Amino acid sequence: MNGLVYLSNVVTLELDREKCNGCRMCIIVCPHNVFMIEDRKAVIVNRDLCMECGACDKNCPEHAISVRSGVGCAAGIINGILRGTEPNCDCSSSGNCC
């Protein structure tokens, strides 16, 4: 992964294989190849590559995936601390953001 791997064992990604129907949607939407199909069901193969974007969770029709999604952005987290809210990259007021 050309040296661009973030911290290990931190992400909140969970997959309930019992619920999985093998539709492959998680594999299609994941930008970091976290999932694979094994025995016709999804399995997490690259857990530490997960960036908690939440695309798999949002697109799993069986609700088999859960992840606390959000932006991995220090400025957004500081924003949240300052305003007493959740980490928040909605910086529309400051006029400069992603």
Partner 1 sequence: MIMNADYITGSLATTAGTVPRISASLSFHDILNTIRVRWAIGRMNYKVEPGLYAVGNPDAGSEVFVTCNFKLTFDQVRKALAGTDAWLLILDTRGINVWCAAGKGTFGTKELVSRMGKVGLSKIVTHHRIILPQLGATGVSAHEVKAQTGFRVVYGPVRSEDISEFMKQAMKATQEMRTVNFPMWERMKLIPVELSYGSYYLLLVPALFIILSGLNRSGYSLDHAFTGGLRATFNLLVAYLAGLAVTPLLLPWIPFRRFALKGLIVGWVAALVLWMFQMTGSGWIEKSSWFLMTGGLTSFLAMNFTGSSTFTSLSGVQKEMKTALPLQIGMAALGIILWVISKFITV
Residue ranges binding partner 1 (CB under 8 A)? 2-8, 10-12, 25, 28-33, 49-55, 58-59, 61, 68-78, 87, 89-90, 92, 95-98
Minimal distance, residue 26 CB to partner 1, in Å: 10
- Give the largest CA-CA distance in the chain: 49
Minimal distance, residue 44 CB to partner 1, in Å: 14
Question: Quick one: 28 or 43, whose CB is closer to partner 1?
Answer: 28
Q: Is 59 exposed, middle or buried (0-12, 13-18, 19+ CB in 10 A)?
A: middle
Residue 47 · residue 34 · CB < 8 Å: yes
Residue 75 · residue 90 · CB < 8 Å: no
Minimal distance, residue 30 CB to partner 1, in Å: 7
